Structure 1
Amino acid sequence: MSKAENTYWGDSQTASNKDRRSLNPRNRSTTAADRPGSRSQWVAIGVAISLTVMLILTINFRASSVLSTEAVENTVLTNKIRAVTSENLALQEEIHYLKKDSDTIEREAKKFGLTRPKKEKVPVPAK
């Protein structure tokens, strides 16, 4: 028995290892699938892989649903921005005409009931 075997394995394991070494591999009829620990090891690996795949799919599904919601919200906000921008341009144009165009000023004044006082001609007596 080597020093490493004594350090890492107990007597029961070293005895079973010696028995295993003494068997002739050609005469053994058991396969890897017939060993008791082999099947449970593959089941554990399969469960771990399936849980990993489910976790990845869940994260990706959540991310894609958040992305689609954000895309819809982005479209709605873009349309609102376009509407407000066009309204802003129309109001700026109206302000410009109210400041500069006398016809527009008179038209708006009539809407509010304001009129210019009529210039009355006052006769000046002749001397």
Structure 2
Amino acid sequence: MANEELKIRTKKFSISIAKLILDMPYNLINKNYSNQLIRCSSSVGANYRASQRAKSTADFINKLKIVEEELDESMFFLELLTEFNPDKKVMLVENWKEANELLSIIVSSIVTSRRNATIK
């Protein structure tokens, strides 16, 4: 997947999460989990964009590791919200699947970058 495509896809992920949160009922649990989810999901796109301006391969890998962590955290909060909002399960699961796909792409990029760095 091209870098520009992934920039767009990570941004769309953040927007999709924000729209999902706007549609969630307001209660203490949703408020707290939603706040965390907004932070980590928006960090995915921001840190991916930062990775594209990395100063070295090590810097690039480090930034992608942050994206990996933020995607995993997003998936965790999507799982928690699914437990407390069964009526929103379809939308929550769709976003979880997208996060999982992005996570697979990012992990693959990390592995490839590490392998290429050791070849040089």
> How high is the TM-score relative to the length of structure 1?
0.26
Of structures 1 and 2, the one scoring higher in RCO (CA 8 A, sep 6+) is 2
The structure whose residues are more often helix, as a share, is 2
> How high is the TM-score relative to the length of structure 2?
0.27
Q: Larger C-alpha radius of gyration, 1 or 2?
A: 1
